[in-house]
Amino acid sequence: MNNIRTKSSRRLILLVALLAAVGTGAVSAQQKNDPKALQIVKTFEDKLNLEGVDITNTFNLVQKKPGEADRVLQIKVYRRDSANVFTLIFQYPSSEKGKGYYRNGNDLYLYLPTTREFVFRNRKDDVGSTDVRTDSFGRLDLESQFFVSYGGQEPVAKWTCDVIKLDARELDVSFPIQRWFVRTTDGLPVKVENFSASGTLLRTIYYIEYQPVASGKFLFSKLLALDNLQPGQKTFITNEAISTDPIPDYVFSKAFLEQQSR
């Protein structure tokens, strides 16, 4: 009887150990980057991260909400990906004029001209309460924030796309689960789905058009962001007056934001 009990106990321990090993393996498989997916991510990051050039451009944002008048914002963007910094300054409407963001690495500050104070924000803050995140304007470094896996191919409009799934390493990113649809023809993302930690689709971003700004470097010139929790709410962005002229260093400072608001 005792023998039987010992044998069953051993079996149970073995089974538990086996399950634990399988479980651990599954977790580590989940938390590993898929080399193919990572290569696709690196390729589009290389194209979209504009190291070596300074970019100045103006974004026009039109936010549409059902039953409400369209909201229009104009934002001037100064961007230097080599230093992982950008400065955004609101130019229109007059109620928002002078407001701006300054990002340096992971630190993002919102400048409020009315109170003349800088407010620390999550690095993926909404821009002017639209469906667009400030991180849409800066340098991408997805590998440092997410585990990357390959999700096969799916069509988006007329293009065949590789689907890349991102799972957050830490839950300090706005959308801890993301699906990026990357065009097989040129390796540029055309659609991004953003999910909450529990897996609900919150927003979908369509990169409608890109514009080359340097050799092998691209900047989106038309973007559509849809709010999936509020059907009908969307933000359309056009990118104008793109310039690659060098930007003075002082533009990437809090002082510049204060100066521009005067």
Partner 1 sequence: MLQFFPLAFKNIFRNRKRSVTLGVNYAVVTLILVLLFAFSAGATQNIETNLMRSSAGHITISGQYAKGGRIYPGIPDTKEIVDIARNTLGSVEAVPRYVLMSTLYFKGLSKRLTFVGFDTATDNGFEDQLNFLGGSWQAFLNDPNGIIVPEDTATYYGLTTGDQTTISTRSRLGAFNTGIMKVDGIYTSNNYFAKGFVLAHYDFLQKLDLAGSDSSSQLFLYLTDTSRLNYKRDLLMEAYRSAGFEVSKPTSDTEALEIVTSASTKYQVDKANRDRVMLRIATIGEVLGIVRTVLAAVNAVGSVIAAIMLFIIAVSILINLRMTINERLREIGTMRAIGFETTGVTALFVSENVILSLIFIGIGIIAALLVTGIFAYLVVLPSTGNLGLFLDRGHLVLIPTVAGVLGVAAVITLFTALFSYFPARRGGRITPVEALNRVF
Task: State the nearest-atom distance from the C-beta of 169 to partner 1, in Å.
Answer: 11
Q: What is the x/- site pattern for partner 1, positions 6-45, by CB under 8 A? A: ----------------------------------------
The residues, ordered by sequence, that sit 6+ positions from 155 with a Cβ below 8 Å of its Cβ are: 161
Whose CA is closest to 204, among 188, 227, 233? 227
Asked if 240 and 250 touch (Cβ cutoff 8 Å), the reply is no
121 scored as a contact of partner 1 (CB under 8 A)? yes
142 scored as a contact of partner 1 (CB under 8 A)? no
Asked if 172 and 159 touch (Cβ cutoff 8 Å), the reply is no
Task: State the nearest-atom distance from the C-beta of 194 to partner 1, in Å.
Answer: 8
Per-residue tokens: 67 = 């039953």
- Judged by CB under 8 A, how many residues of this single chain contact partner 1? 23
170 scored as a contact of partner 1 (CB under 8 A)? yes
202 scored as a contact of partner 1 (CB under 8 A)? yes
Residue number with CB closer to partner 1 (99 or 123): 123
Residue number with CB closer to partner 1 (195 or 210): 195
The gap from C-alpha 257 to its chain's centroid, in whole angstroms, comes to 23
46 scored as a contact of partner 1 (CB under 8 A)? no
3-state SS, residue 180: strand
CA 70 to each of CA 127, 236, 238: distance values in angstroms, whole numbers, following the listed order? 16, 11, 15
198 scored as a contact of partner 1 (CB under 8 A)? yes
From the CB of residue 229, how many other CB atoms can be counted at a distance below 10 Å? 10
231 scored as a contact of partner 1 (CB under 8 A)? yes
Residue number with CB closer to partner 1 (142 or 219): 142
Radius of gyration of the chain (CA): 23
Asked if 123 and 107 touch (Cβ cutoff 8 Å), the reply is yes
Q: Which of 30, 185, 200, 243 binds partner 1 (CB under 8 A)?
A: 200
Residue number with CB closer to partner 1 (43 or 196): 196
- Interface with partner 1 (CB under 8 A): 66, 107, 120-122, 124, 168, 170-176, 196-198, 200, 202, 229-232
